[in-house]
A = this chain, B = another copy of it.
Amino acid sequence: MSKTINVAILGASGYTGAELVRLLLRHPNLRIAALSADSKAGRAMADVFPQFAGVDLPVLQKIEEIDLDGIDAVFGALPHGTTQDVISDLLARKPDLKIVDLSADFRLADLDAYAEWYGHPHKAPELQTEAVYGLVEVHREKIRGARLVANPGCYTTTAELPLIALLEAGAIDADEIVIDAKTGMTGAGRAAKEGMLFSEVSEGIHAYGVGQHRHMAELDQEFSAAAGREVKASFTPHLAPMNRGIYATIYVRAAGSVDAAGMHGILADRYAGEPFVTVLPLGQVPQSRHVRGSNMVQIGVVADRRPGRAIVISTLDNLVKGASGQAVQNMNLILGLPETTGLEQGALFP
């Protein structure tokens, strides 16, 4: 494969932007042609992320300064809410751009759901309709032909991979799903907030957004589609004192006579051929650190001591499979490249 695709990364001064740069520097086909970072425009990338000292990269620009003539594809790593205007504008100027957007802006197919959860009508409803939800292992075929892919959230990818498979198989009671999720601090982004200071979050753990987190809209959409009826799971996110990792401990009740071994079999079969999903042997429990820095998901299934119940555990790196890695995976699909290109790197443990 020798074609070179020129790529712009919007929002390169954030963590998912930097992670895209890290991954693309080892991608043989995608060439970083432009990097945007509004408030830090004019600075070198190595000034904002010193791990890139000595690496040849474009200077940070404002989005409007990017020359679209030289750009074939775009990764959007901008904050939620601001992205829909930017993407609309880019596609108006250059309709054949290929875009993978990492924000939440294009994830909800239902415009009413969007308005309800985000408090305002969607600003680019026709693009919203066009956008494909980029959970690769579930929507791979739709992604191949897409122009605009909405990269799923990190929490949602973690929970959806096991649960969509189980719901589609009719193996679990859709009304009895409890997702207790733990995330590392990079999930909160790089904006300076008191609550994210080292001294506020180290040496302790806490839940947040209890009962009402926006990721629920995304879960509702995908779980309902998988079950063929409306599903509302219970979802509680926690902040753990670590940089990377999402760890979802999921409590499910069997539908019918399926037991934990049956659920494990469904997952093992479903993901047998997937390069980025490992289903561990029945009873084995994953650890978030063992996928750190890689695009891997590890899933474990354990029987509860109460008959008819099981605990399903899923973990990934929120910046890789939960964001930038899955975005590259989506872009590979869009462009017809082998899906794993640039994502071969194993986990960094310890």
Contacts and interface: CB of A to CB of B under 8 A. Distances in A.
Interface of A: 15, 18, 22, 25-26, 49-55, 178, 180, 182, 184-186, 190-194, 196-208, 210-212, 216, 232, 234, 236, 238, 240-245, 247, 249, 251, 278, 280, 285-294, 296, 298, 302-306, 309, 311, 313, 319, 344-350
A293 B52 contact: no
A312 to B, nearest CB: 10
A304 B208 contact: no
Nearest to A220: B305
Given A204-B288, A236-B311, A291-B51, A199 B305 contact: no
A151 to B, nearest CB: 19
Given A52-B346, A203-B203, 4 more contacts: A184-B203, A204-B290, A234-B306, A244-B350
B194 A289 contact: no
A296 B54 CA distance: 10
B243 A241 contact: no
Given A26-B345, A190-B197, A234-B309, A202 B243 contact: yes
Nearest to A288: B204
Contacts of A296: 54
A192 to B, nearest CB: 4
12 contacts: A18-B349, A25-B346, A51-B292, A182-B205, A190-B194, A202-B243, A205-B242, A206-B247, A206-B287, A211-B311, A232-B305, A293-B348
Contacts of A178: 178, 251
B182 A182 contact: yes
Scoring A197, A210, A286, A350 by chain B CB atoms within 10 A of each residue's CB, the highest score goes to A350
A291 B240 CA distance: 16
Contact of A285 (B207, B240, B247, B348): B207
Contact of A243 (B194, B199, B208, B210): B199
A330 B29 CA distance: 29
A289 B333 CA distance: 33
A238 B251 CA distance: 14
Contacts of A210: 285, 302, 311, 313
A243 B350 contact: yes
A88 B210 CA distance: 47
Contacts of A309: 234
Nearest to A196: B197
A241 B238 contact: no
A345 to B, nearest CB: 6
A196 to B, nearest CB: 5
A311 B240 CA distance: 18
A51 B347 contact: yes
Contact of A204 (B52, B185, B245): B245
6 smallest CB-CB distances across A and B, nearest first, come from: A204-B289, A206-B287, A51-B347, A180-B180, A199-B350, A185-B198
B207 A197 contact: no
Given A178-B178, A197-B196, A350-B186, A313 B207 contact: yes
Contacts of A346: 22, 25-26, 51-52, 55
A204 to B, nearest CB: 3
Nearest to A193: B192
B292 A203 contact: yes
